[in-house]
Structure 1
Amino acid sequence: MDSRPTKLDYYADMRSLVSESTVVSFLKGGDDGRSALILESTIFHPQGGGQPADTGFITVGDGEAKFAVEDVRSRDGIVYHYGHVENLVGDGVVEFETGKAVHLHVDESRRKLNSRLHSAGHLLDMCMKNVGLGLEPGKGYHFPDGPFVEYKGVIPPSEISNKQKELETEANALISKGGKVSIAVLPYDEALEQCGGFLPDYIPKESTPRIVKLGSNPGCPCGGTHVHNLSEIISVKVSQIRTKKGVTKVSYTVG
């Protein structure tokens, strides 16, 4: 099997939900019955970075064979599209041979929701600073079933209720104002400048990080998908703030 990394087309273009690619390998169903398609390039976002995988379907030719994409994962730079073949060609042979041209279709509603949740998580990072909470961002979980962002440090219990209201008010004010969300893959030094002089230690200095910026605010490294303007988040509700063992957890939803 070709071990070259899969080209991530959504890295540069998060708006496209339809694209073309070429089959590298088709791995027939394992113990769970799912098969996997490996392509030269993909617009499907694999699960990772706190964001769920895209779903959708992939077809050959004029739809003689259709592969329903139920999950997407990345291992060692190779993206695996997991799912099932839904319809076959006339003789029952699945035509996903190496070198075949295929058409990719990402589920629009799922992608948009995942992007809104992910951007809302980044927006809360900004708002934490704006309301006087200079806590360092940690883990983010941007799944529909209970999204949250965590921060190193705690908020005094007597301030939590007021800060929860301030955080929600600030987030919705920025959403109402709107602002372009930009993405760029940059040399390390440029990325460092775009991120206000700070990049996490896990970003190698010889790398070219992908930086996401919300409006004119400092950027941060991120491999996920996002809205194109803050107004597309629509609204944010901060449902709960909890502190435990030196960590503050901010739970939220989008409208």
Structure 2
Amino acid sequence: MEVTTPTKLEYYDQMFKLQSKATLVHYFKGDDGRKALILDNTIFHPQGGGQPSDTGFVCVTNSNLRFCVQDVRSKDGVVFHYGVPVDSTMESELEQGKGKEVILQVDEPRRRLNSRLHSAGHLLDVCIRNVGLGHLEPGKGYHFPDAPFVEYKGTVPPNELQNKKREIEMEVNTLISKGGKVYAAVLPYEEAAELCGGSLPDYISPGSNPRIIKVGDNPGCPCGGTHVSDISEIISIKVSQIRTKKGMTKVSYTIGA
């Protein structure tokens, strides 16, 4: 099975859209035994960038067939919606369904939780700079509900860790209480760099058109994930731990219910 046409990522432009229509491109069973749909476009966010995938349903228009989406992954620009038909007796309709219109429905509570966790990570990046830790360089983030954290290259003196933990938590909750719109846009390289404080990370190629997330009035950053529409939707953040080890600083956090 080979699909060379990239899937259009509709959530890139319409981050808060939870229902849409698409065309079925392919239905197949992979080498690992999992069944998957490939669509011409999708509002489902695939796992990546430290964010878990969306789940939900894909329904064939004018049919009783519903496909339960349990996991979403992207490879070489093609998005794979893994799951199972709700009624296995109608599976042949999917096998013969190339070109049919389908309706996508994203699980809203899961999307909102993932978006809040991901946005909280960006807000912590802002607060790290605001409390005098601007020497820390952003690294990876893990924005899953079980143990979210953000990690930075650089260290904090051990005797300052607890004070900085308190300062970060106070600063981030002050920003949440003030609120602020969250924007996402695909921009030309130069415009994106300007919005991100004058430069972009090395992994962003000059001449490309990166997607930039801007959280309130703070500098933007490249990101492909989903986010809240306003900072206030995060509700609150508790910094559960901050530690320095092997030249890295890790800030673990939870968000309010």
Secondary structure of the structure 2 residue equivalent to 1:199: coil
Cα distance in 2 between the residues matched to 1:59 and 1:186: 33
Segments of structure 1 that go 5 or more residues without pairing to the other structure are: none
Cα distance in 2 between the residues matched to 1:203 and 1:29: 32
The structural deviation recorded for 1:94 is 2.9
Map residues 96-107 of structure 1 onto 2, 5 A cutoff. 97-107=97-107
Give the counterpart letter for 1:49 in structure 2. G
- The question of 1:209 aligning with 2:210 is answered yes
Secondary structure of the structure 1 residue equivalent to 2:129: helix
Give the counterpart letter for 1:95 in structure 2. L
Per the normalisation by structure 1, the TM-score is 0.96
Q: In the alignment, which residue of structure 2 is the partner of 1:93?
A: 92
The structural deviation recorded for 1:139 is 0.7
Give yes or no for contact 1:88–1:94 (8 Å, CA) kept in 2: no
Q: In the alignment, which residue of structure 1 is the partner of 2:65?
A: 65
Give yes or no for contact 2:18–2:43 (8 Å, CA) kept in 1: yes
Map residues 26-105 of structure 1 onto 2, 5 A cutoff. 26-28=27-29, 30-32=31-33, 34-87=34-87, 93-95=92-94, 97-105=97-105
Give the counterpart letter for 1:100 in structure 2. K
**1:15-45 CA-partner distances (Å, limit 9, x unpaired):** 110000001111136544x201000000000
The structural deviation recorded for 1:93 is 2.7
Give the counterpart letter for 2:130 in structure 1. N
Q: In the alignment, which residue of structure 2 is the partner of 1:158?
A: 159
Moved more, 21-30 or 244-253: 21-30
Per the normalisation by structure 2, the TM-score is 0.95
Total equivalences in the alignment? 253
Cα distance in 1 between the residues matched to 2:8 and 2:78: 9
Give the counterpart letter for 1:199 in structure 2. L
Moved over 4 A (4+): none
Q: In the alignment, which residue of structure 2 is the partner of 1:175?
A: 176
The structural deviation recorded for 1:136 is 0.9
Q: In the alignment, which residue of structure 2 is the partner of 1:221?
A: 222
Secondary structure of the structure 2 residue equivalent to 1:57: strand
Cα distance in 1 between the residues matched to 2:167 and 2:69: 41
Cα distance in 2 between the residues matched to 1:112 and 1:120: 12
- The question of 1:184 aligning with 2:185 is answered yes
Cα distance in 1 between the residues matched to 2:94 and 2:41: 18
Q: In the alignment, which residue of structure 1 is the partner of 2:199?
A: 198
Secondary structure of the structure 2 residue equivalent to 1:99: coil
Cα distance in 1 between the residues matched to 2:111 and 2:63: 23
Q: In the alignment, which residue of structure 1 is the partner of 2:7?
A: 6
Q: In the alignment, which residue of structure 2 is the partner of 1:251?
A: 252
The structural deviation recorded for 1:95 is 3.1
Give yes or no for contact 2:121–2:143 (8 Å, CA) kept in 1: yes
Map residues 92-131 of structure 1 onto 2, 5 A cutoff. 93-95=92-94, 97-131=97-131
Q: In the alignment, which residue of structure 1 is the partner of 2:240?
A: 239
Moved more, 60-69 or 167-176: 60-69
**1:81-137 CA-partner distances (Å, limit 9, x unpaired):** 0011112567x6333521010000000000000000000000000000111111111
Give yes or no for contact 1:14–1:226 (8 Å, CA) kept in 2: yes
**Percent of aligned pairs sharing the same letter:** 65
Give the counterpart letter for 1:130 in structure 2. N
Give yes or no for contact 2:3–2:78 (8 Å, CA) kept in 1: no
